Amino acid sequence: MVDKSIFGDLNSLTGEDKEKMSAMIDKLQARDSLRMYNSLVERCFVDCVDKFYRRSLTKKEETCVRRCAEKFLRHSVLLGSSFAELNQGASTSD
């Protein structure tokens, strides 16, 4: 369960501190997005590319990469939705 007292502390921050906190959160979100993208690329490449002897992917490899990426993105959306529901439930259960 989330400690609700931390939200009171955030509201007491000065404008400058809130801006710093917002910038830090933006930086962390960008870093996490890059990590997710890199994980997607590595996972799909390892799973789908059999041989590295051409400049382009075979049709089979292209299809595999597309499906892999679609599954990864669907999973991310579902996970994000579940997290949002849990977060919303936690904030309304005071």
Number of domains in the chain: 1
88: CATH: 1.10.287.810
% of the chain residues with pLDDT over 70: 83
Burial class (CB in 10 A: 0-12, 13-18, 19+), 6: exposed
% of the chain residues with pLDDT over 90: 34
**Rounded Cα gap, residues 37 and 69, in angstroms:** 10
DSSP state of 50: -
What's the domain range around 33?
Answer: 5-92
Check whether 62 has a pLDDT greater than 60. Answer: yes
Instruction: Determine if the pTM surpasses 0.95.
Output: no
Q: Is 76 in contact with 36 (CB distance < 8 Å)?
A: yes
pLDDT, residue 10, reads: 64
